[in-house]
Amino acid sequence: MKKDQKSFIGHLAAWLNWPRFIFSATLIFFLTSILFPFYWMASSSFKTRAEIAGREPVYVPGEFQLEAYKELFSPEHESYQNFGKNIINTLLVATPTAIIAVILSTLGAYAIARLKFRGKNVLLNGILLVYIFPGVLLIIPLFAMLARVGDTLGFNVQDNLGVLVFTYLAQTLPVALYMLTNYFRTIPDEIEQAGLIDGCSRLGIIWRITLPLAIPALVSVSIYTFMIAWNEFLYALVFLNDHAMFTMPIKINTIFNDPSPRPHVVMAASTIMTVPIIMLFLAMERFLTEGLTAGGVKG
Amino acid sequence: MTTSTPVIKKRFKLFQSEESRLAWALISPTAIIVFSIIIFPAVFSIWVSFHDVGLHNLNNVFNAPFVGFENYQKVFSDFAFKYQGIKIWGAAVTSIVYSFIATAFTILVGLIAALLLNRPFKGRGLTRAIFLFPYVAPVVSTAFVWRWILDPRPSGVLNDILMRLNFIDLPIAYLAERGWALVFVILFEGWRYFPFAMLMILARLQAVDTTLYEAAEVDGANTMQKFWNVTIPELRYVLGAVFLLRLMWTFNKFDDIFLLTGGGFGTRVLPILTYEFSFRLFDFGRGAATAMILLIILAVFMTFYIKVVMQNVED
């Protein structure tokens, strides 16, 4: 046993030189500073209030305590948060945003990538302008504008998830359009021309040839737009007032700002919000990473 | 092939006349939404910034009274905006200092991460995925977990670790003390957004022609010399582009600072001030004026950057 250990240390000493040492140390530093907050989020959510407010931090929770999750989901809890409703609201906003954004941007991106038409560049530059405008600049006129439109057409701007989807479309469409245009350009034109020769119509070509080839891009764009809507904070903060209509980010903000601080509940809600996103990302990592560099997703 | 060419040409011509119409039909839904909800509001906010718009006349906003530059004057004379000496910067200077330092820091961290991942090692794919976690995770969860780590109460982790190591004697309220708050907001920015810079730099690194390194080796260059004379010149363009994008987004960013400090303790940047004027005081005119000032600063910088810096980089 001792001999083995020695040879291991000997091995390590022989392997280790300055560049390798610096490399490993930096890598370990990166990995800990990235993963520790996520560990701390998940582990804090399983602590009791006593552990959270103790004289020193509890690095490893003694056992899984579900106190925080009970406050979020169990109606019997004294300060029941009805977090399930907030999860549903977030899904009700994020899913339509993703679906509509993908459909509309697929059509638009195809036109930009493949068809010749006048005014294309002006249009494309206009759409990309969104990268410059701060969300906080747009929200004032949007708020005033939609309040006026809502007054005329008889709908409420505040606490209206449909209005929220509409504003999220403006944030996600340019990104989606840009990513899909780049992808369509990588599909060789010759395949479509073969279809043209065989007598397919343009729409037939899009449906039978281009879309099946673009499935990886369509998947990654729909996940991106879903994630943007799932994470969005500012517009939801301004447009939602009623607790029953809150999406998760606004709800977590409300719990955090509660006069009696309950970090374990905040961490539990944050964990619930983060886990699906990380899972989705890990499952689709390959597509998504390519999309990130291609689209330069705004963040 | 030659026999079928006229037929194809005929088909193509037919398509070309149709093509334009089809293109507009395909793109108009996107174009209408984007223009009605981005371009029009952007122009409208110029209008709002010259009018007295508040909650009282929100339903009748198009008849709001014209007030000239009054909103701008109010912003310029506001204590939250004005530079008042080295201790109290005001939102404009804070915004500029914060965005530049945070962007430079983000890119530096991203560059180091990209260099790490450019070396082959076991588990590199997984490591790259993990490096992207901060970027894809929701901003609300990451901001709040950092607030909890930086908590000044006895159960705050960072204070506990630093006190155990005897670096500090008493807990520090990192996010509630002038100076520290700005430093930690910048650190958070670097932690959260370095993956974007990393991905862009990594993509460029992997496209660098390896014969350049071989040539440098033949000339007897060491690792540092190779880095400065081969890698950095090859990366110049991508670094310049990433800097511009990240600076723009950092300058416009609202969520991160709002969630970390609420804009207090010397971290009140222009987007936060815009929000406070509009949705705390409900003075939309003043909020729009603040946003316009933000946009003007950004536009001036971007024009200068693209004209001067990027042109030099391209040469």
Break chain A into its structural domains and give their ranges. Answer: 2-73, 83-295
Q: Which of B147, B199, B205 is nearest to B176 (CA)?
A: B147
Residue B196 to residue A292, Cβ atoms within 8 A: yes
Residues 6+ away with beta carbon under 8 Å from B45 = A137, A138, A140, A141, B288, B291, B292
Distance of CA B152 to the CA centre of its chain: 29
| CATH fit for domain A83-295, picks 3.30.310.220, 3.40.50.1240, 3.40.50.450, 1.10.3720.10 | 1.10.3720.10
Helical pair B284-304 and B232-252, crossing angle rounded to 10 deg: 170
B178, amino acid identity: R
- Asked whether A30 and B116 are in contact (CB, 8 A), the reply is yes
3-state secondary structure of B66: strand
Mean of pLDDT over chain A: 84
3-state secondary structure of B54: strand
Query: CA triplet B150, B143, A279: central angle to 5 degrees?
Result: 120
Give the torsion sign (CA, B152, B154, B160, B162): positive
Q: What is the pLDDT of residues A123-153, one digit of tens each?
A: 777 777 777 788 888 888 888 888 888 888 8
Confidence at residue B15, expressed as pLDDT on a 0 to 100 scale = 55
Q: Which of A134, A184, A182 is nearest to A293 (CA)?
A: A182
Q: Domain B85-314 is in which class? A: mainly alpha
Say which of B34, B116, B199 has its CB closest to residue A26.
Answer: B116
- What residue has token string 């110029």? B46
Confidence at residue A59, expressed as pLDDT on a 0 to 100 scale = 83
Distance of CA B124 to the CA centre of its chain: 27
Buried b / exposed e along B66-102 (16+ C-beta atoms within 10 A): ebeeebbebbeeeebbbeeeeeebbbbebbbebbebb
Beta bridge partners of B51: B66
Residue A227 to residue B137, Cβ atoms within 8 A: no
Distance CA A63, CA B55 (A): 51
Indicate the domain borders of chain B: 85-314
Distance CA A143, CA A135 (A): 12
Q: Which of B175, B167, B177 is nearest to B148 (CA)?
A: B175
Q: Residues of A numbered 140-169 whose beta carbons fall under 8 angstroms of chain B's beta carbons: which are they?
A: 140-145, 147-148, 151, 166-167, 169
> What is the number of helices (H) and of strands (E) in chain A?
16, 0
Say which of B48, B196, B275 has its CB closest to residue A136.
Answer: B275
Chain B CB contacts of A26 under 8 Å are 112, 116
CA distances from B115 to A27, A296, B63, B109 (A): 11, 20, 58, 10
Q: Which of B117, B136, B142, B120 is nearest to B128 (CA)?
A: B117
Interface A–B counts its CB contacts (< 8 A) at 288
Say which of A141, A174, A296 has its CB closest to residue B245.
Answer: A296
Distance CA A221, CA B74 (A): 43
> How near does any CA of chain B get to the CA of A294, in Å?
9
Distance CA A71, CA A81 (A): 6
- Asked whether B171 and B159 are in contact (CB, 8 A), the reply is yes
Mutation site, B34, B273, B298, interface A, largest A CB count within 10 A: B34
Residue A145 to residue B245, Cβ atoms within 8 A: no
Confidence at residue A291, expressed as pLDDT on a 0 to 100 scale = 63
Mutation site, A100, A115, A266, interface B, largest B CB count within 10 A: A115
- Asked whether A206 and A273 are in contact (CB, 8 A), the reply is no
Confidence at residue B215, expressed as pLDDT on a 0 to 100 scale = 85
> How near does any CA of chain B get to the CA of A130, in Å?
7
3-state secondary structure of B63: helix
ipTM: 0.87
Q: Which of A195, A30, A245 is nearest to B113 (CA)?
A: A30
Q: Which residues of chain B have pLDDT under 50?
A: 1-3
Q: Which of B254, B265, B250, B262 is nearest to B88 (CA)?
A: B265
Distance CA A64, CA A61 (A): 7
Distance of CA B17 to the CA centre of its chain: 42
3-state secondary structure of B51: strand
B137, amino acid identity: A
Q: What is the pLDDT of residues A86-124, one digit of tens each?
A: 999 999 999 999 999 999 999 888 888 888 777 778 877
Say which of B23, B38, B138 has its CB closest to residue A111.
Answer: B23
Q: Which of B130, B141, B110, B106 is nearest to A28 (CA)?
A: B130
Checking if the pLDDT of A27 tops 90, the result is: yes
Q: Which ranges of chain B does DSSP label H, i.e. alpha helix?
A: 5-34, 40-49, 70-76, 90-117, 124-131, 133-136, 139-149, 157-164, 180-205, 210-218, 223-226, 232-252, 255-260, 270-279, 284-304, 310-314
Distance CA B113, CA A70 (A): 40
- Asked whether B187 and A33 are in contact (CB, 8 A), the reply is no
Beta bridge partners of B283: B54
Instruction: Write out A252-263 in H/E/C secondary structure.
Output: HHHHHCCCCCCH
3-state secondary structure of B7: helix
Q: Which of B291, B305, B228, B235 is nearest to B95 (CA)?
A: B291
Q: Which of A136, A94, A289 is nearest to B279 (CA)?
A: A136
Q: How many CB atoms lie within 10 A of CB A7?
A: 10
Mutation site, A47, A115, A131, A140, interface B, largest B CB count within 10 A: A140
Token output for A47? 């602590």
Confidence at residue A1, expressed as pLDDT on a 0 to 100 scale = 47
Closest residue of chain A to B203, computed from CA coordinates: A293
Residue A107 belongs to what H/E stretch? helix A83-114
Q: Which of A73, A99, A102 is nearest to A88 (CA)?
A: A73
3-state secondary structure of B315: coil
What proportion of chain A, given as a percentage, has pLDDT over 70? 95
